[in-house]
Amino acid sequence: MSQASFKEFLWKNYQIAFKNQDLLQEALTQRNYLNEHPQEHGRDYQRLEFLGDAVMQEAVTEYLFKRYPNWHEGQLTEMRITMVQTRSFAHFARVIHLDEGIRLGKGEEMNGARNRDSLLEDIWEAFIGALYLDQGSQVLRQLLEKTLFAAIDDNFFDQFIDFKSRLQERLQVKGAVAIEYVTLKEEVLPDHIQRFEVSVSVDGQELAQGSGRSIKDAEKAAARLALQELDNKK
């Protein structure tokens, strides 16, 4: 695990090689590392994080705006919130092996900061800021197409969405309603995996059925499908 292997990973998987290595170093350097290495004259990642935060927000906004021409601003905002958040950015920082490249202070290293979501989020934003400056918006966009944007099609962001709350909010717009989740079936598949089937009803009328490996997952799936049904009816 080293910066060299991170750079190799970036080149092999995304054909990205920084022209300005100092810029990449800045994005990967935590403040205490500099305190412990007074001979280094670089900066820590915080200025680049300031830039990258805005660059990420703009890139995701523009992508969603163009991808979903029929969504209204409320739907776009909801989707952006699920994509632009700590757990999401930390995940993609790990996907591109950014965690291997970070230059940490010793104390932070011992405290496990290298695997902490909040640090990985910061470093992801700083890296995006550096990439934007070094390679331009086209290369940045290509990286996001292969990571964050591709994840939409894999339903990756569903894990961050509370579909049951969202369904409730949607249905309660016109006043109080009774939403009921009923477990229809519970079975054990040959490989010892449990499978639940759940239906969701509002005021006694079934909206959708969902399945999952736990009752919670099945209810979430049912709520997600019910929301889709409601969207299609509009």
CB of 139 to a second copy, least distance (A): 15
Question: And the tokens for 223?
Answer: 């709520």
Catalytic option among 26, 125, 197, 219: 125
CB of 54 to a second copy, least distance (A): 4
Catalytic option among 44, 53, 99, 219: 53
219 is in an annotated binding site: no
User: Helix or strand or coil: residue 202?
Assistant: strand
- Closer to a second copy at the Cβ: 70 or 205? 70
* Helix axes of 117-146 and 86-95: crossing angle, nearest 10 degrees: 70
User: Helix or strand or coil: residue 81?
Assistant: helix
Q: Which residues bind a second copy (CB under 8 A)?
A: 46-47, 49-51, 53-55, 57-58, 61-62, 65, 71-73, 76-77
Q: How far is it, in rounded angstroms, from Cα 226 to Cα 209?
A: 8
Distance of CA 56 to the CA centre of its chain: 12
Let me know: does 198 contact 182? Beta carbons within 8 Å.
yes
CB of 85 to a second copy, least distance (A): 15
Residue 53: active-site member: yes
125 is in an annotated binding site: yes
Let me know: does 205 contact 146? Beta carbons within 8 Å.
no
Residue 153: active-site member: no
Residues within the annotated binding site?
Answer: 49, 122, 125
> Where in the sequence numbering do the catalytic residues fall?
53, 125
Residues within the annotated binding site for Mg(2+)?
Answer: 49, 122, 125
